[in-house]
Amino acid sequence: MDESRPIFVQVAEQVENDIIGGTMAEESQVPSTNEFAAFYRINPATALKGVNLLVDDGILYKKRGIGMFVAAGARERLVAKRREQFTAEFLAPLLAEAAKLGITPQQLSTMIDKEGSKK
Amino acid sequence: MTAVIEVEHLTRRYRDVTAVNDATFSVEENKIYGLLGRNGAGKTTLMQLLTGQEFASDGTIRVFGESPVENADVLQNISFIKESQRYPEDFRPRHVFASAPHFFANWDADFAAQLADEFRVPLKRRIKKLSRGQVSAVGVIVGLASRAPLTFFDEPYLGLDAVARQLFYDRLLEDYAQHPRTVVLSTHLIDEVSNLLEHVIVIDEGRIIIDEDAESLRGTATSVVGTRAAVDAFVASREILHRDAVGGLASVTVTGLDARGRAAASAAGLELAPVSLQQLIIRRTGMNQQQSSEKEFEATA
């Protein structure tokens, strides 16, 4: 947990990461609010707020009396959302830092190709 | 939401000191509150007033809807763990735990035994012979295992090491989740407990200066770092909590920076740094006005 952003937002992002990474499969049950609270060492009300964020987005859904589950199609929708944010969150800062160092977008492109081919 | 504590214009004066000055606030049921402030800010006096151990000079206190003073109906629902609890001469921890059920209806002896084991409290040794940390652990165990509807922890961990403090936080969260209740935690160790708190009350020189949800408080301040001229131009129209300057560089803490403000700062070539709850409270209680007081604040914890 970092201090710069609300903790409940970070809890929601962690769950999103687990869904995108496949740790939490669609239609599987996610940990309870209290389990999240104990794991991240945060107030249960904060954990609930984070989980509710995902319920509002339709990523998680509640089964009354049983618990919280990952919605069908959640992974695909999260990937689409993250791709939309990719430019703003990763490309823009990368280009800004490159410009500061005098690296042109063309040079950057060559660097990316070279680094990508290593893998 | 039900208010467990309602305080209006509460004032406690001693001869030439006003320990609590016109405090008005309420504490809602089943939340964890942080009561934060510097040494001598009035935290302990406030808790003594709320638990009927001190008398108000002015104002009203309602705990569970009634005055707590000599009110058994109210007091039997309160567990107050003090910084330096005194125990009868010759008492051993097992005596403390054996007498607790007489005071606390919800006392869980098994939980107390488990905690005593985890905190490594020697049950049969005289309390006089225990280390400072072990005595604190006895208080923490009583506070947790009493499961009182309203529990106050006043700097409960004098002498407790980092492992024991983490154990305290973990068990508090777990048990609170299983048995929701109202907890008021008074501490200097703001960074350690900030994630546990749902609501924060900050008292400074007897006055309540912050009474806010912990999540909304977090992120209300940001530090803007850059060249002095650029920083000054950017913060000119904003509320400034603190400023530091070294040579041509400046770091200024401002409040209420929204997404547009952030974009403007980046466009002006300024760096933005997060401000922790502890830093924010240090800024807001004016501790930056004294030299190296921040270090002192942490060292006293």
Residue-wise pLDDT for B34-79, tens only, equals 999 888 899 999 999 999 999 999 999 999 999 999 999 999 999 9
B132 in the Ramachandran plot: left (φ > 0), alpha (ψ -120 to 50) or beta? alpha
Q: Flag whether residue B281 sits within 8 Å of chain A, measured between CB atoms.
A: no
**CA-based nearest residue in chain A for residue B193:** A42
| Chain A interface, Cβ < 8 Å to B | 1-8, 34, 37-38, 40-46, 49
**CA A77 from centre of chain:** 12
| Partners of B130 in the β-ladder | none
Q: If you average pLDDT over residues B127-147, what whole number do you get?
A: 94
pLDDT in tens, B261-296: 888 888 888 888 888 888 888 888 875 454 333 444
Q: Give B25: exposed, middle or buried? Use CB within 10 Å, 0-12, 13-18, 19+.
A: middle
pLDDT of residue B115: 97
**Substitution target from B195, B216, B277 for chain A, most A beta carbons within 10 A:** B195
Cβ of B195 within 8 Å of Cβ of A42? The answer is yes
Residue carrying structure tokens 């002896």: B109
Name the phi and psi angles at B79, rounded to 5.
-120, 125
Chain B residues whose CB is inside 8 A of the A31 CB are: none
Q: pTM value?
A: 0.84
User: Residue B297 carries which DSSP code?
Assistant: H
Evaluate whether B32 touches B174 at the Cβ level (below 8 Å).
Answer: no
pLDDT of residue B287: 53
Instruction: Report the percent of chain B where pLDDT is more than 70.
Output: 95
Q: Look at the alpha carbons of A11, B221, B300, B211 in this order and tell me if their dihedral is positive or negative.
A: negative
Q: Which DSSP string do the residues of B161-172 spell out, in sequence order?
A: -HHHHHHHHHHH
| Partners of B12 in the β-ladder | B20
What's the token pair of residue A3?
């201090």
Cβ of B276 within 8 Å of Cβ of A3? The answer is yes
* Residue B247 pLDDT exceeds 90: no
**CA-based nearest residue in chain B for residue A39:** B170
* Residue A46 pLDDT exceeds 60: yes
* Residue B260 pLDDT exceeds 90: no
Of B195, B274, B275, the CB nearest to A43: B195
Evaluate whether B34 touches B194 at the Cβ level (below 8 Å).
Answer: yes
SS3 of residue B209 by DSSP = strand
